[in-house]
Structure 1
Amino acid sequence: MGLYRKRNDGGEQPYVLGPLKFRLPFIHYKFEYPDWIQGAILCVVPMGITAVMMDVLGIPFELAIAFVIINNFLYLLHTHFGDPSIAGWITAGIPLYVGFLTGFPEGEARILALIALQLTVALLFLLMGIFKGADMLIKRLPISLKAGILLGAGFAAIFGEFSPNGRVWTMPITILLGAAFGFFMMFSKTAEPLRKRYSLFRYIAQFGIAIPFAISYLIGMLIGEVKIPEIAWNIVPVPIGEIISNYSVFGIGFPPFEYFMKALPLAIAAYIIAFGDILVVSSLIDQANEVRKDEKIVFSASRNSIIVSIRNFLQGIFMPYLPLSGPQWTGGQVLVINRYMNNGRKQVDSYWGGATGIFWGMSIALMLGPIVTLFKPGINIGMALTMLIQGYLCGYLAMEVLKEKGNLEKGIAVIIGAVLASKGAAWGLGVGIILWLLLEKNWVKDMKEDSSETKTA
């Protein structure tokens, strides 16, 4: 650790390359083994998308896993270049993407449609990043709309898991036990004093939902809800040549212009959904800065948007990825931030060690055949726990945003959230803007101010 560069108390973690804020492991942040282990166990979460890719795009499991591995390494662009976000998919829109793609003939046409969608999303993020549109939205978006988007994302996550076809009912005892253990470890009033009093509990709690997942997974196998895994002892191959030949613009060509036009409305909806994740990560980083005064974590929505754009462009050109590339993985974000906030500098020196470590652990684990096959039967458990945590987190952050606001803002936020969850992002935002214009905006006051300014002039 002789190379490690320490920060000044209350300052930013050291970096190089000026505005790029490039950080290297062991030099600019320490190795945080709990986050590596947690990431390795939670590799089951990104594995969940392989079933959808196989069904909708006809991609075999072996190639789908390779897509997941490449996507996971791309997450590291964020934490290596100064963005504290624990990046992820634009998760809530996955049912919308599936519906869009199934409107095209099976085979190459669906791949081309996904390329068009992902490149359009990349362009939107790039424009919002370059022109600082995301930063402006965070500062100027009315509180009722911010809270409504957060509530809608939370409602959608919970509704999706408990719907008649939701993951909870595929293995109800296993998933609900895992959720109960996970919520207790991370959010209960009992857990905090236990962390302070018992070193063993504090040691277990630092692994977030990894331990609850492992316990519920074992119980699921014992009661017959989860299949016994068949272990394969190999390194998972990543056939770059085959991916480029069969799924990239260099292999199957560039999508026709009409595909981009069809994808545009959905790309806008995907950005609206993703904006909710930008709000979440911004709120969480603010909370972390309030708790840990020894380190300053700087979040820039513009930097985040530009890196998200780069990820979507790379994937759209070389390997279109069905869940798209989004600003944040809420479940992972809260795991890293909770551990960071609940421990002092002696135990967790810097936020960046954990934020980067969770994806190093996950990405390497996805390349190991024994780990992939061990956790393959637990795909639904990992995805369900992630979505339930996202629902809880979005809900309480929305309440926090509205804490000092009146009944008017709270009522508008609830309506926005309900419409967004039931009718989609575009409907939710549209209803929210109309309600803000009709109810919140004081047109009389604005007219008086305009009139007085005119007289003064």
Structure 2
Amino acid sequence: MSIFKRKDGEIQPYWPIGKYQLRLPFIHYRLETPELIQGVVIFTIGLSMIEIMRTVLGMSYEAALAIVILHLILMVLPSTLGVPFVSGFITPVLPVLIVFLGKFEPGPEAVRALIAVQFVTALIFFLLGVTGLGQKVIKILPNSLKAGILIGAGIGAIMGEIQEGGRLAATPITLTIGGMLCLYIMFSLHFKKLYAHNRFFKKIANFGIVPAILIAMVVGWIVGEYSMPQVQWGITIPNIAELWNVTPFVVGFPSLSLLISAIPTGILAYIIAYGDIIVGENIVRRANEARKDEKIQYDMNQVHMVTAVRGFLHSFFAPHPGLAGPLFSAGTASVAERYTFGRKAMDSIFSGSNSLVISMICALFVLPLVTFFQPILPVAYSITLILTGYLCVTLGVKQVNTEEEIGVAVVMAVVLALYGAAYGLMIGMVLYFLIQRKNLLSLKKDGMEKAVTEKQEEKAEQIS
């Protein structure tokens, strides 16, 4: 229950803070039981980032866990201030980020590099949010470069798992079963048929990749590829001392040259995150069309600014490889789907979004849950990357239509996956001007390219 009640057709009650809408549980919205239950399971996705922080960045488990806790706490900020999304990671940028971080020695050097990327990404969000130029910047970017970024990130994600010495070689049975099951649940036409006709499979789908992680965990125990958990009882207490040791106040602030070298990766992160924002807007728009009892009000600049704030806070106090993205797509889609069932099922889009994140935060403080999942964090991370890789490749391919666009996108993607964002962007731009442009020095779009772009925009409007 909540103190303030919404009249049909109005905005969910809030306290105004400038142009933002502050909402608190039990005051402005009720907690939703299904989302509270779901959060206790899917919080494991956040734990999967610990593996990156331990291996690539050289952090201790205690420091990584403290960062995950702070990240989840900050995830509630956007929906508390009026953004109807469940925020999350910029997951597709992880493979590119890992390539960039791989140039640095694990430890303070790699942590400084991550801080640089996090700060640059937050700064891009801030500047484009303040000026309102985000949408215009993305429209200028050629489709072939958008596709190259996504496909390259996808190739990098899958390559890292299947290459010699990767996790597939170390745990072949667990990862093969978990990865295949994840792709089946998320993308299979057969599973979609089951989903359409069976409530049980709908519930499975609402948990996203978690069922695949849980089954992979059991398989790993059975075949001996992962050890049984050493469950501890009590409350998870963040190790503040370990957390402080990985902040820029201890490891040092990034140099100007490091910040400059982080710009290409930050640009890629923003481009991918902007795509996530569009996905989130479409999800919320469809949900809003199904419900006339609530008016959902927010704008793109709000999304940019709260994402920037989260990014800056992380860069100074808790560097996180997820880069504080604007959308947790699986969580947002799950909330929006149940929202369409009506007000009795979910009072407000904000009650659903906030309940999910609040539950995930609470679950992290339950020490038995955290220690139960600790041994299988590597496979959870691998399944996340496999899903990300598949999704990035499919989304990237949809961006291109002509032979020229396909060629530029694929070559750029391979370079990006192997050598990182800077070389990928450079090769992509050079090939775009050499291959796709009829007038090399003209900034206006060629007739064919303009027609293709307009055709894609029409398709996007039809889909949304």
TM range (shorter): 0.7 to 0.9
Does 2:88 match 1:87? yes
Q: Which moved more, 1:420-429 or 1:13-22?
A: 13-22
For residue 454 of structure 2, what is the aligned residue in structure 1? none
For residue 233 of structure 1, what is the aligned residue in structure 2? 233
Report the 3-state secondary structure (helix = DSSP H, G, I; strand = E; otherwise coil) of the residue aligned with 1:323.
Answer: coil
Per-residue deviation, residues 372-400 of structure 1 (Å, max 9, x unmatched)? 11001110221122112212222222233
For residue 411 of structure 2, what is the aligned residue in structure 1? 415
> Using the alignment, how far apart are the partners of 1:427 and 1:284 within structure 2?
30
Q: What does 1:233-312 correspond to in 2, within 5 Å?
A: 233-240=233-240, 243-244=243-244, 246-248=245-247, 252=250, 255=253, 259-283=255-279, 285-286=281-282, 289-290=285-286, 293-294=289-290, 302-312=301-311
For residue 452 of structure 1, what is the aligned residue in structure 2? none
Per-residue deviation, residues 387-438 of structure 1 (Å, max 9, x unmatched)? 1221222222223334xx3333333322332222222222222222223323
> Using the alignment, how far apart are the partners of 1:191 and 1:248 within structure 2?
44
Q: 1:117 to 1:391 in 2, by over 3 A?
A: closer
Per-residue deviation, residues 64-116 of structure 1 (Å, max 9, x unmatched)? 3112211221122222233425321552344245334418xx66x66566555
Q: CA RMSD in A?
A: 3.6
Does 2:431 match 1:435? yes
For residue 161 of structure 1, what is the aligned residue in structure 2? 161
Given residue 150 of structure 2, which amino acid in structure 1 is its aligned partner?
L
Q: Which moved more, 1:151-160 or 1:281-290?
A: 281-290
Query: How many angstroms does 1:230 deviate by?
Result: 0.5
Determine what percentage of the aligned residue pairs are the same residue.
Answer: 29
> Using the alignment, how far apart are the partners of 1:399 and 1:350 within structure 2?
36
For residue 211 of structure 1, what is the aligned residue in structure 2? 211
Per-residue deviation, residues 331-370 of structure 1 (Å, max 9, x unmatched)? x413531563487333566554454344323222222210
> Using the alignment, how far apart are the partners of 1:192 and 1:444 within structure 2?
46
For residue 323 of structure 1, what is the aligned residue in structure 2? 321
> Using the alignment, how far apart are the partners of 1:8 and 1:215 within structure 2?
43
Q: 1:299 to 1:153 in 2, by over 3 A?
A: farther
Per-residue deviation, residues 199-241 of structure 1 (Å, max 9, x unmatched)? 3333333222222221221122112122110001021112446
| Contact 1:416–1:429 (Cα < 8 Å) also in 2 | yes
> Using the alignment, how far apart are the partners of 1:113 and 1:205 within structure 2?
37
Given residue 440 of structure 1, which amino acid in structure 2 is its aligned partner?
Q
> Using the alignment, how far apart are the partners of 2:143 and 2:174 within structure 1?
38
> Using the alignment, how far apart are the partners of 2:303 and 2:102 within structure 1?
28
For residue 371 of structure 2, what is the aligned residue in structure 1? 373
For residue 453 of structure 1, what is the aligned residue in structure 2? none
> Using the alignment, how far apart are the partners of 2:37 and 2:159 within structure 1?
30
Using the size of structure 1 for normalisation, the TM-score is 0.81
Does 2:186 match 1:186? yes
Q: Which runs of 5+ in 1 are unaligned?
A: 450-457
> Using the alignment, how far apart are the partners of 1:152 and 1:29 within structure 2?
42
Does 2:137 match 1:99? no
| Contact 1:41–1:210 (Cα < 8 Å) also in 2 | yes
Given residue 362 of structure 1, which amino acid in structure 2 is its aligned partner?
M
Q: Which moved more, 1:281-290 or 1:438-447?
A: 438-447
Given residue 420 of structure 1, which amino acid in structure 2 is its aligned partner?
L
Q: Which moved more, 1:65-74 or 1:308-317?
A: 308-317
| Contact 2:152–2:412 (Cα < 8 Å) also in 1 | yes
Q: 1:2 to 1:66 in 2, by over 3 A?
A: closer
Given residue 400 of structure 1, which amino acid in structure 2 is its aligned partner?
K
Q: 1:232 to 1:427 in 2, by over 3 A?
A: same
Q: 1:318 to 1:205 in 2, by over 3 A?
A: closer
For residue 461 of structure 2, what is the aligned residue in structure 1? none
Given residue 373 of structure 1, which amino acid in structure 2 is its aligned partner?
T
Report the 3-state secondary structure (helix = DSSP H, G, I; strand = E; otherwise coil) of the residue aligned with 2:63.
Answer: helix
